[in-house]
């Protein structure tokens, strides 16, 4: 047991993707609010790109810059997944492995009580263990996704046949004891084998994840039992490790509204002219690169829907960007905006003219949308996004765009029909109502604050 009121020193070490870094930072700020010291560790350029830390917790958060080692094939100044095309990410993982020595040195000299880390540093648990530092894996993925990925508890593994072909992944795993539709589609299942194969970093993602999980004291998950109760319970059984939901870490409204942003002035001027709940907001995250054909169908489907839209179209660095159909912007300029700069998503979703969100189903984006009860049009592309889409459909909290099972392609008509169903049709009222209902959980800051309290209590009471 920690001494009463002992202030802890907690090191936070996220993977080099802003979809991971930002939830780690949100959790850091909430822990610092309880008076504990945080060392937030990343690379110099990522630290420089962080949002400003609020003054009330800034004295307790030290930003630790570990220079990223140079690795062949990794462009200069590339320090996050958003800086490189998808096929270069393994080299970023290789560079990240080069942080082992500097991180070890930091841990030796600053002796934190805990290190809260991500899936990538497979080498970290034994180092921290040797130094007597407690270890928690913090998953930005939700509990149902982690359960689908599989167990580490040997008795559960031995009781089930290994999944060795795509067809094994298109049905719920045998170790899930309750009814669910959470599984991959065939075109997603084919991609999932990338996880298990050694990549250019020298290790598979699965190897990293399993190594990390084999050497921890706890699993912290960005979820809550009100949303994923049975999955949270199952996760603990599959790993034989304490699982602590930390809540959904909603971004602070005060912070989002307090940041002066010239982009926002232009965006809000347009949003203010639109009718209430009429606009569909489209954002596929910073890592999605649809094929040109899929991109065209999305654009044409949006155009033929006739709906007002705001499309946050992030260009990926070092990628031959897909192009909008010829004269698309000209034809839609009276009712739509294609925005290629940085878009303040949380503020856009919070605007009353926005009625729906066409999303890639990243868990953080879903969390933001349900703060405001925005109905979801689901268009997953990568990794866990397909599993989140099924999870949301199961709850009738969104509708997935119909796709070709073999290659994941979709048509402009399927985009148009799904948009109209969710945004306008009487048949889609159930989804709009369900999304509004979700605000009672996702938008209740007191619920999520209590989860962080419980997590901090766990950290205080379990040292070494």
Handedness of CA 455, 457, 461, 463 (dihedral sign): positive
Task: Locate all alpha helices (DSSP H) within 273-384, ordered by sequence.
Answer: 292-305, 328-332, 345-349, 363-371
- Which residue reads 């894996």 in tokens? 137
425 as an active site residue: the answer is no
Closest CA to 420 of 336, 276, 307, 281: 307
Closest CA to 19 of 360, 351, 450: 360
Is the Cβ–Cβ distance between 368 and 19 less than 8 Å? no
118 as an active site residue: the answer is yes
Helix (H, G, I), strand (E, B) or coil at 42: strand
How many alpha carbons lie under 13 Å from residue 17 in its C-beta half-sphere?
Answer: 20
Q: How far apart are the first and last CA of the chain?
A: 10
Q: 415 to each of 289, 303, 319, 332, 375, how far by Cα in Å?
A: 17, 10, 25, 16, 15
Closest CA to 428 of 397, 394, 385: 397
What long-range pairs does 164-168 form, CB within 8 A, spacing at least 24?
166/190, 166/192, 166/193
Helix (H, G, I), strand (E, B) or coil at 184: coil
Closest CA to 310 of 346, 357, 370, 264: 357
Find how far residue 151's CA is from the centre of its chain.
21
Other CB atoms within 10 A of residue 287 CB: 21
Helices and strands, number each (H, E), in the chain: 20, 13
Catalytic residue among 97, 118, 205, 384: 118
- Which residues are catalytic, by number? 20, 118
């Amino acid at each position: 047991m920690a001494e009463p009121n002992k202030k802890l020193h907690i090191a936070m070490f996220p993977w080099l993707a802003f979809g991971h870094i930002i939830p780690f930072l949100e959790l850091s700020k909430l822990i610092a609010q309880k008076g504990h010291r945080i060392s937030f560790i990343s690379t110099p350029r990522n630290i420089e790109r962080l949002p400003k830390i609020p003054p009330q917790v800034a004295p307790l958060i030290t930003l630790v810059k570990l220079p990223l080692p140079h690795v062949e094939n990794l462009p200069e100044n590339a320090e996050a997944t958003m800086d490189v095309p998808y096929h270069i990410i393994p080299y970023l993982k290789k560079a990240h492995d080069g942080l082992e020595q500097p991180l070890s040195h930091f841990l030796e000299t600053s002796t934190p009580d805990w290190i809260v880390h991500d899936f990538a540093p497979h080498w970290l648990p034994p180092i921290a263990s040797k130094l007597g530092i407690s270890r928690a894996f913090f998953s930005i993925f939700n509990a149902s996704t982690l359960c689908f990925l599989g167990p580490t508890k040997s008795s559960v593994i031995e009781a089930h046949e290994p999944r060795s072909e795509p067809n094994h992944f298109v049905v719920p795993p045998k170790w899930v004891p309750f009814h669910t539709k959470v599984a991959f589609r065939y075109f997603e299942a084919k991609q999932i084998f990338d996880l298990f194969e050694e990549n250019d970093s020298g290790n598979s993602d699965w190897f990293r994840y399993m190594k990390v999980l084999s050497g921890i004291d706890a699993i912290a998950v960005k979820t809550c039992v009100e949303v994923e109760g049975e999955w949270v319970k199952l996760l603990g059984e599959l790993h034989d490790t304490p699982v602590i939901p930390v809540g959904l870490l909603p971004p602070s409204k005060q912070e989002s509204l307090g940041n002066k942003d010239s982009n926002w002035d232009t965006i809000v001027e347009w949003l203010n002219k639109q009718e209430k709940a009429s606009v569909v907001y489209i954002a596929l995250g910073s890592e999605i690169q649809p094929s040109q054909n899929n991109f065209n169908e999305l654009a044409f489907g949006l155009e033929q829907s006739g709906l007002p839209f705001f499309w946050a179209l992030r260009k990926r660095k070092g990628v031959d960007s897909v192009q909008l159909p010829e004269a698309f912007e000209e034809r839609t300029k009276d009712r739509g905006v294609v925005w290629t700069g940085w878009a303040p998503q949380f503020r856009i979703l919070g605007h009353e003219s926005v009625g729906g969100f066409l999303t890639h189903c990243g868990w953080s984006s879903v969390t933001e949308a349900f703060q405001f009860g925005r109905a979801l049009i689901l268009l997953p592309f990568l990794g866990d996004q397909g599993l989140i889409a099924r999870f949301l459909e199961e709850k009738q909290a969104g509708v997935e765009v119909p796709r070709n099972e073999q290659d994941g392609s979709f048509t402009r008509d399927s985009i148009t029909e799904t948009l109209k169903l969710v945004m306008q049709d009487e048949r889609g009222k159930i989804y709009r109502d369900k999304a509004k209902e979700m605000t009672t959980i996702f938008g209740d800051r007191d619920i999520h604050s209590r989860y962080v309290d419980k997590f901090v209590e766990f950290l205080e009471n379990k040292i070494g």
